[in-house]
Amino acid sequence: MQKRYVLKNKPSPRVKHNAESWSVILAIMNAYGGASINDLAAAVSQHRHPQGGRAFVNYCIRNGWLVQKKS
């Protein structure tokens, strides 16, 4: 079973492509309460980065916007 991540903070990204990807992640979190890294990365696969959506999801985790759900 994959680890699930939940929303911790609601940032306001200023860079357009970050704001667009964050709005997708925020919608998923609001709808489902949490998601796996793979699901989030797939949802923002259009993210403008050489590593695509996974890089943005990892960025969100590093910045404390998303945290691992405690069992």
Grade residue 66 by pLDDT with cuts at 50, 70 and 90.
Answer: very high
| pLDDT tens track for 2-60 | 899 999 988 888 889 999 999 999 999 999 999 999 999 999 999 988 888 999 999 99
Q: Rounded CA gap, 64 and 54, in Å?
A: 15
The helix (H) or strand (E) run that includes residue 68 is: strand 66-68
pTM summary value:
0.89
Dump the DSSP string for 1-67: ---EEEE-------SHHHHHHHHHHHHHHHHHS-EEHHHHHHHTTT-SSTTHHHHHHHHHHHTTSEE
Q: Is 71 helix (H, G, I), strand (E, B) or coil?
A: coil
